[in-house]
Structure 1
Amino acid sequence: MNSRPPHGDQTAGSPPTVPPPPSPAQPAGDGSRGPATAGRGTGQNQAAGPAAGDGGHHRTGGTPRRAGLATLPALYPAPIPQDGLEAGRVLLRDGTAATLRPARDRDRPLVAEFLGRVSDQSLMRRFFAGESREAAVESLLQVGPPDERYTLLVLVGDPDHPRIVASGTYVRDERDPDAAEVAFLVEDAYQGRGLGTLLLERLALIAARHGIRRFIAWTQPDNRRMLEVLRASGFEAEQHHRDGYVVVSLDVQPSPESVERSEMRDRIATVASLRPLFRPRGIAVVGASRDPGSIGYRILEALVMNRYQGPVYPVNPKAGVVGSIPAYRSVLDIPGPVDLAVIAVPRDAVLDVVDQCGAKGVRGLVVITAGFAETGAEGRELQERLVAKVRGYGMRMVGPNCLGLINTAPDVRMNASFSPVFPPHGRVAMSSQSGALGLAILEYARDLGLGLSTFVSVGNKADVSGNDLIQYWEDDEDTDLILLYLESFGNPRRFARLARRVGRKKPILAVKAGRTAAGTKAAGSHTAALAASDTAVEALFRQAGVIRADTLEDMFDIAALLANQPLPAGPRVAVVTNAGGPGILATDALAAAGLEVPEPSPATREALRRFLPPAASLGNPIDMIASATAEDYRQTLRAVLADPTFDAALVIFIPVGLADVDGVAAAVRDAVAEAREAGHHKPVLACFMSTRGLRQPLAVGDERIPSYRFPESAARALAKAYEYARWRRRPLGRIPAHPDLDIDRARAICREAAARGGGWLPAEEVDGVLEAFGLPRVPSRFVRDEEAAVQAAEELGYPVVVKMASRTLVHKTEWDGVQLNLEDAGAVRAACRGIRDRLAAAGRAGELDGFVVQPMLPGGTELVVGVTEDPLFGPLVAFGLGGVHVEILQDVVFRITPLTDVDAAEMVRSIRGYRLLEGYRGHPPADQEAIQDVLLRVSRLVEEVPEIAELDINPLKAYEPGRGCYVIDARIRVEPEEPGSRQRSAPDPGDA
């Protein structure tokens, strides 16, 4: 089912982005920016300091007026595959797993077998000229550099005897380097299962990285299936007829439609692949035992005793009956269909069992057995063989080394684990990376009365991972809230992408263990020194809207609120209490968490005055005093829920004397029921500070009011819910496509430096990279000696700054390497000699590259913008107050690239010194949009040029609104890019 074979050379190159439209150069001084070019001088296409005439000592011209960020076109980040872009697991439309990888010359026998199974019609549609099968083998195995031609293969079957079922190839057009011809071939038995679309998407991403903008596909008019693949891809397409063929031209740059359709297809395939795990037609327990102490016995008992709504088949080669149920010697002996096999056999027997399951047609595995990657190198190798077998048979696997999984749905009732606890049915789904902790979690959830829809212990996450489960739960009608206990990430950038999308529908609440990893890596820049081990996780959660709990107890406190109450519309909380002390504690806790405790409206105060005793306090907290009755609680709560002043209510009760706990609880229920009938849907939290607590849950119909032992717990939970509600209401954000970037120039500079071995770029190369990305710089001259420095100062105009330039001495201030306010030639010479002499005295004169001369820029607010590379999360962008105080004050926030305009604006507002940027006590405000523009350009720079490992702009001087901000000093370190070294280009298998 495929198109004409490609002809000519092909390439595949740079990361996929929407290329900026051409922008004509503007006359100097008109406030516009033309495209940055390699030949441009340092005095052009750059920002200047404060406007002339304000008393400043600058001679850099007027400030360019940038187009507003909101007016720029948007970039659409390409989809992020679960495994590597070019190799790893893929899922077919029906949920079957397969393996994707590039073609290799040694694949000749496999390709010949593949073509031998393909029908003559399919072969003709792929190789129009009726090529022999031998010639077709040679055509598919023409391997070249990816910027010329590339072939991907999809394989299934036992890893020792795999078979190819599909191939896709692009070849760059010799006549049009922006285009490549693309063709596909899918084995007849696998047609209609989404392989053509999958190969098209992957080849498009690879080709776009190598500079290809369009795919050209030739196909026969009656090849409707191929034409539908091309039309349904979501890529912008043009179609015409030529020489009796249909020619389709596809723009392979990601677009909103292509990204949305790709993610939808991925979600459908993932859900289909996991359905046999959660809703199997039959379950085999392999390793079922008669020994009550064995795990196999406990799993079988859990399935039977919790009334799994389907057949269960014990598998034990040494017993004919297990637990009064007929047993089978092998999975192959089971007469009925088996969708799920729970494996609890010794480690060395697992692979043989997987072979049996594959032959039986089992779709899903839960491997309880331990002894794999968690044990060391030998275990890792065995786990890799296990995963290869599972994928070869098209199966999905939870584990190994896991507790199992649970589905509480009444029509399933599956406890495929060795947990003795079967939680009540509810609308909360949970994944735990720890099996042992999972046992405690299930027990705690049961004691709290928190109902679960599904629970999965992912163990080593060798196949099914948190990202897969999030996609499954996204549209699961039984799930409203997702809980995650995480110990590690495998593909955090994909996790962030999924969480941003799913979090708009359903809250994702996570505990991430390992916040305080001992030690931090040696750092060569301010940014790297500030990026502690947990920084990337915190940044990811904030950007993706994931609610972070510090402890499991906090997680369940927050979950009790999110699972049962509406989200707060605002931060204003009414506190209703019968004791002053707890009310004060609650007020302090709410304020500390960023919530507000305003006074009731005059109408509400008047209503309260009618029935509360004169001694009651009608402010906030509303203290009804110790004599408050259940009726007082009912009327007071009803009044505050009707008051538009408040967005939420916290009800505190502490027993005094013979207080009626149950009566107060009933009054709270009644008040909430009346409020709901009146249309007041505000969250309500209770705090019953009684030694025996509440005998019955606070339930209003299907709604449950969460009850806490102490007000601080309730306050923290409500604050987290409000923070999530704010994130959910904020705009999605967009990545502006700046039209003035010279990406090729920046890449060329950094790749050339990386080829030299990498390291810190010399000053002139740093300036070239910044200029290529339109970052506003102070005019600078790099010079080698004192006389050249004097000449540069004469050209720039006094007063000037002289700085030492060194690729190895990072912090200039440690060497007194920045000399300010130099008024004449003598001062410049003396500054240069002083820097050289200090380094010579320390024996480091050979590390001085030269000097940088700049005009003085007085005033402004000093900021820092930086990037450091996290080995797992990719680039982290930092922003905060700059200058010499950056590491002392540490007023810095981090975010993961790529930044959206919403991310950049939030970064600026998130530092503790933000009031300084707004203007504070005579200090002028800063141009916040210009700062955000710098953050967005830096983010794009490190995404487009992966060789950049560290970047430090310190200081970045920001001036009044409309007058911009300017890079005063910058450093860039590059490293050779290793294939697969960055998650944004080739994620490792596994994930959150």
Structure 2
Amino acid sequence: MTDLPPGYPVLAEADVVLRDGSVCRLRPIKPSDADGVRRFHAGQSDESIYLRFFAPMRTLSDRDIKRFTEVDYHDRMALVATIGDDIIGIGRYDRVSEHSAEVAFNISDHYHGKGIGSVLLEHLAAIAKSHDLAEFEAEVLPHNRKMLSVFSDAGYQVSRRMEDGVVTLHFAIEPTAESQSVRFAREHRAESQSVRALLHPSSVAVVGASRRERAIGHQVLKHIVEGGFTGRVHAVNPGADEILGVPAVASIGEIDGSVELAIIAVPADRVTEVVRECAAAGVRTLLIISSGFAEMDEEGARRQQEVLRLARDHGMRVLGPNSFGLINTDPAVSLNATLTAGIPKPGFFGLFSQSGALAIANLDSAARRNLGISVFASAGNRVDVSGNDLMQYWVEDERTRAVGLYLESMGNPRKFSRVARHLASTKPVIVVKPASASYGAPPGHKVRKPKVKPHAFTAMLEQAGVIHCENVHQMFDVAQLLVHQPLPAGRRVAIVGNSSQLAALCADNANERGLEVVHGPVAVRTEASAIEFQTAVDAAFADDEVDSVIVCFIPPVGALDQEVVEALRHAASRSDKPCVATLLGMRGVDDAGDPTFLHETGEVGGDTPRQAVPLYPMPEEAIRALAAATDYGQWRDKDKGETVLREGIDRWAVRALLDRILEEDPEGRALTSDEARELLDAYGIDVWPRHEAATADEAVAAADAVGYPVVVKSLSPLVRGQAMLEGIRVDLHDAQSVRAAFEALDRRLAPMDANYFVVQRMAGPGVSTVLSTIEDPLFGPVVSFSIAGAPTKLLDDIAYRIPPLTDVDVRELVDGIKLSPLLTGHDGAAPVDRAALEDVLGRLSIMSDDFLELSSVELNPVIAHTSGVTVLGADVMITPATRRIDTAARSLT
């Protein structure tokens, strides 16, 4: 990268998925692109040239090339979209006033319809916004409908005027709810399409197919052939004519016709060469099963990055390396490209696993439980395709009813939260992430180390509506219920068993899980017949007060009576209420052995709905799964709220303040009290002033200035929030009491160098709270809320949320701590003004989302009282902006 010009913004480089699922590279233009720009221009039609330049400029002069390729990356910015060495699109802006720039695009004739113009506009707008630009304008010929649609379809409020035969457009580039919605929808369609190309290939080539039975390439090819793959299969092996009846060729370039999926199973040191051959052959997607990359050593990590760069530069998506493979049980595909022949039957559960070793266990567990799958994918080192991509695909996959993800690490939690929330609004998302992986990634996974505590991850899942399980066993417990039963309408349950002790145990367990027992527990006789049992179960289902039914039947001796099983099937099949059951010796999905059960209609005969009953060996497992399903159902039904918006926000003032400070201190620093007040005031957060005092006389003078009563307090971290080492005096009404308080605190704290004092007007009584935000390397901005004081810190009673927040998110943030009753009138106290508290939290969340330079902001204490809130302290640390993983424009990370 030695040819980079001065000021070249490396952070503006990005890989982007286009509308057809392929990948292109966006980067700032360089003077060395001169020849590439000439080739790009020479390949354009006369019409395209005229639409861009309003003149028949068949060739570009050296002066034009210099003007186009040499920019300052601030007032003049240009991005090129590339595939391989070819430029396929150019977008640029030129500042025309303090806050406005003219924008223009030129897209290759061969790449129209792929959304390149829209992607360039998103990225240019994000860059321009960071350079204090607020508006774009563009001049477009009236008959250039494609370019006009780029602006009108982006979700901005565009004004137009016609002058001298040219349409002049103006629009603010500040993201709006509509523009954000458009961006996310386009991202979803593109990434879903790219995964579809991976999972629904019409042709597959196994590179490294071997005649040795124990070789990985042989096993994968064997499973593809024996699995009945419906597309074309090719074997690539320079030393064979055919393998397993499949004709073999020496290289992928010798295959007639296109290859949509190349499965690479060669030694690691040959993978780069093979990927290069795939790029030349026009392969769309890669599954790299080969190991020996970043999970091994630094040389492997370098090789892995080289493979990724090569694939993305040529528009290919990559699953792996070190992947266990992928499965698509759709009869139209029937692809088993894994290292195992024993896979679950076709079904409705989508499964993603990062771990190859656990992929085997996951597939085996699903098969043993009779839980069919729709799609399975193993990401291996997760160099490219991740769980986020699979979730984008599952949103619209009709064959998937619920999804499960086993995550050892998470590369982009901010995007995960957004995509998972979208998917969970229609389909359950179940996540297993081992606690041991909270702060460390497995070898081969490139992950930034978070600053926030591990339960911030749990809070993120809760915010997104994701069901968090502790292990794979629990994931399948929940999945077999959610895939085959309706969602509970509420928390009311009926319990039916054939043991009073067991039924009582179920009731206790249900109560502990937040379920309400409204029917029973009913216990039929231990020796009850199937008819007696069915009568009791039918009564439970028929009770209008019941939302779900829990059944536990343990026969006194011998095997379970099949008539009892049939009675349960009969009752459950005629109801729209979910049912979980504990039957002796049975676990998994009971489909009664019906071969037609898995028809996509979900029906067996006529219009009768067919629901399989999930079975559990112990009641606790059944009830835990039912409680998780109930919680999810309530999340899905609840009002998610509207994105937080606030009046009285001056972003330009904050931008100017941050730029001024970082110009003086490029490494960043803590803001002074006055600077922090100026920053927060721009977002409508009023911080009471506090005056430093080094002597008793200065303390008295400060008190006289702010007005009595006042407080004198130490700001030393040694005493803040400490009950045992008091560092504050309150309710001081005159100069004498201020002087005495200062001198007493000074004597006590000076030996510990904790005598750093301020004087501040005294706030009224209320609940002391802490509102803060941190720019986390992994999560991006994270907002937290807690009650002030040592007990909260010791008990870790802190609630977290990931911006952007809705009004419901803000309310749940306040409710998310165990001490929240203190805010609602605990022990007869008056409730605080929740609206005022939530308003400050909302403003803080917006500010943290707007400015990456805000490394941390802590408002402490914030006194919440009956008529509002009083912000008494603010500590702000700023650092130079670094790129967030989930940026303001579409990008692969």
The answer, yes or no, to whether TM exceeds 0.5 is: yes
- 1:356-367 matches, within 5 Å, as 356-367=277-288
Residue number among 789, 812, 815 corresponding to 1:906 in the alignment: 812
Question: Aligned to 2:262, what secondary structure does the other structure show?
Answer: strand
TM-score (norm 1): 0.82
Deviation readout 1:605-659 (Å, 9 max, x if unpaired): xxxxxxxxxxxxxxx2111231322112222222222212111000110111367
Q: Percent identity?
A: 38
Residue number among 175, 185, 188 corresponding to 1:264 in the alignment: 185
Q: 1:596 to 1:698 in 2, by over 3 A?
A: farther
Q: Does structure 2 retain, via aligned residues, the 8 Å contact 1:397–1:464?
A: yes
- CA distance in 2 between counterparts of 1:241 and 1:452 reads 57
> How far did residue 948 of structure 1 move?
2.3
Q: 1:184 to 1:665 in 2, by over 3 A?
A: same
Residue number among 718, 743, 760 corresponding to 2:670 in the alignment: 760
Residue number among 769, 782, 792 corresponding to 1:886 in the alignment: 792
- 2:274 matches 1:346: no
Number of corresponding residues: 862
> How far did residue 385 of structure 1 move?
1.5
Residue number among 225, 230, 241 corresponding to 2:151 in the alignment: 230
Number of the residue aligned with 1:671 = 571
Number of the residue aligned with 1:328 = 249
Deviation readout 1:460-512 (Å, 9 max, x if unpaired): 12221211111111111111111111111112111111111111111111101
> How far did residue 843 of structure 1 move?
5.3
- 2:651 matches 1:743: yes
- CA distance in 2 between counterparts of 1:693 and 1:511 reads 19
- 1:286-305 matches, within 5 Å, as 286-305=207-226
- CA distance in 1 between counterparts of 2:668 and 2:171 reads 38
Which amino acid in the other structure matches residue 710 of structure 1?
M
- CA distance in 2 between counterparts of 1:694 and 1:211 reads 58
Residue number among 778, 801, 809 corresponding to 2:711 in the alignment: 801
> How far did residue 142 of structure 1 move?
3.2
Question: Aligned to 1:374, what secondary structure does the other structure show?
Answer: coil
- CA distance in 2 between counterparts of 1:954 and 1:378 reads 48
Number of the residue aligned with 2:464 = 544
- 1:406-445 matches, within 5 Å, as 406-445=327-366
Q: 1:351 to 1:691 in 2, by over 3 A?
A: closer
Q: Does structure 2 retain, via aligned residues, the 8 Å contact 1:630–1:660?
A: no
Number of the residue aligned with 2:738 = 828
Number of the residue aligned with 2:536 = 636
Number of the residue aligned with 2:727 = 817
Q: 1:12 to 1:897 in 2, by over 3 A?
A: farther
Q: Does structure 1 retain, via aligned residues, the 8 Å contact 2:720–2:727?
A: no
- CA distance in 1 between counterparts of 2:589 and 2:392 reads 37
Which amino acid in the other structure matches residue 92 of structure 2?
T
- 2:35 matches 1:109: yes
- CA distance in 2 between counterparts of 1:189 and 1:531 reads 46
Question: Aligned to 1:227, what secondary structure does the other structure show?
Answer: helix
Q: 1:859 to 1:693 in 2, by over 3 A?
A: closer
- 2:854 matches 1:927: no
- CA distance in 2 between counterparts of 1:272 and 1:982 reads 22
Which amino acid in the other structure matches residue 685 of structure 1?
V
Which amino acid in the other structure matches residue 87 of structure 2?
I
Residue number among 169, 172, 180 corresponding to 2:92 in the alignment: 169
Number of the residue aligned with 1:314 = 235
Q: Does structure 2 retain, via aligned residues, the 8 Å contact 1:802–1:819?
A: yes
- 1:204-223 matches, within 5 Å, as 204-223=125-144
Residue number among 737, 752, 768 corresponding to 1:862 in the alignment: 768
> How far did residue 443 of structure 1 move?
0.9
> How far did residue 107 of structure 1 move?
2.5
- CA distance in 2 between counterparts of 1:743 and 1:229 reads 27
- CA distance in 2 between counterparts of 1:855 and 1:843 reads 24
Deviation readout 1:52-76 (Å, 9 max, x if unpaired): xxxxxxxxxxxxxxxxxxxxxxxxx
Question: Aligned to 2:406, what secondary structure does the other structure show?
Answer: strand
Number of the residue aligned with 1:149 = 76
Residue number among 379, 399, 402 corresponding to 2:320 in the alignment: 399
- CA distance in 2 between counterparts of 1:141 and 1:809 reads 58
- CA distance in 2 between counterparts of 1:261 and 1:545 reads 22
Question: Aligned to 2:91, what secondary structure does the other structure show?
Answer: strand
Q: Does structure 2 retain, via aligned residues, the 8 Å contact 1:85–1:986?
A: no
> How far did residue 139 of structure 1 move?
2.6
Number of the residue aligned with 1:648 = 548
Residue number among 870, 882, 885 corresponding to 1:979 in the alignment: 882
Number of the residue aligned with 1:967 = 871
Question: Aligned to 1:625, what secondary structure does the other structure show?
Answer: coil
Which amino acid in the other structure matches residue 950 of structure 1?
S
- 2:620 matches 1:712: yes
Q: 1:430 to 1:861 in 2, by over 3 A?
A: same
- CA distance in 1 between counterparts of 2:654 and 2:728 reads 27
Question: Aligned to 2:249, what secondary structure does the other structure show?
Answer: coil
- 2:478 matches 1:558: yes
- CA distance in 1 between counterparts of 2:799 and 2:337 reads 43
- CA distance in 2 between counterparts of 1:693 and 1:550 reads 19
Question: Aligned to 2:484, what secondary structure does the other structure show?
Answer: coil
Which amino acid in the other structure matches residue 633 of structure 1?
F
Question: Aligned to 2:409, what secondary structure does the other structure show?
Answer: coil
Number of the residue aligned with 1:201 = 122
Which amino acid in the other structure matches residue 791 of structure 1?
A
Cα RMSD, aligned residues only: 2.8
- CA distance in 1 between counterparts of 2:570 and 2:837 reads 52
Q: Does structure 2 retain, via aligned residues, the 8 Å contact 1:862–1:958?
A: yes
Number of the residue aligned with 1:96 = 22
> How far did residue 801 of structure 1 move?
0.4
- 2:561 matches 1:661: yes
Number of the residue aligned with 1:773 = 683
Residue number among 494, 507, 528 corresponding to 1:587 in the alignment: 507
Which amino acid in the other structure matches residue 235 of structure 2?
P
- 2:589 matches 1:686: no
> How far did residue 286 of structure 1 move?
0.8
Q: 1:200 to 1:843 in 2, by over 3 A?
A: closer
Q: Does structure 2 retain, via aligned residues, the 8 Å contact 1:482–1:509?
A: yes
Question: Aligned to 1:597, what secondary structure does the other structure show?
Answer: strand
Question: Aligned to 1:397, what secondary structure does the other structure show?
Answer: strand
- 1:230-249 matches, within 5 Å, as 230-249=151-170
Q: Does structure 1 retain, via aligned residues, the 8 Å contact 2:714–2:720?
A: no
The worse-fitting range, judged by mean Cα deviation, of 693-702 and 553-562 is 693-702
Deviation readout 1:520-543 (Å, 9 max, x if unpaired): xxxxxxxxxx98642221121011
Deviation readout 1:740-776 (Å, 9 max, x if unpaired): 2333444444555554344433333333333333224
Residue number among 783, 795, 808 corresponding to 1:877 in the alignment: 783
**Taking CA–CA contacts closer than 8 Å with sequence separation of 6 or more, which of the two structures ends up with the larger relative contact order?**
1
- 2:856 matches 1:950: yes
Deviation readout 1:232-281 (Å, 9 max, x if unpaired): 22322222211121222233232333333322322222233233321111
- 2:512 matches 1:512: no
Q: Does structure 1 retain, via aligned residues, the 8 Å contact 2:783–2:845?
A: yes
- CA distance in 1 between counterparts of 2:130 and 2:637 reads 34
TM-score (norm 2): 0.91
Deviation readout 1:174-228 (Å, 9 max, x if unpaired): 3xx3322110111221223221122122222322333333321112223232223
Deviation readout 1:434-457 (Å, 9 max, x if unpaired): 111101111111111111011000
The worse-fitting range, judged by mean Cα deviation, of 207-216 and 448-457 is 207-216
Number of the residue aligned with 2:444 = none
Question: Aligned to 2:77, what secondary structure does the other structure show?
Answer: strand
Number of the residue aligned with 2:607 = none
- CA distance in 2 between counterparts of 1:807 and 1:145 reads 43
> How far did residue 295 of structure 1 move?
0.6
> How far did residue 285 of structure 1 move?
0.9
Number of the residue aligned with 2:400 = 479
Question: Aligned to 2:321, what secondary structure does the other structure show?
Answer: coil
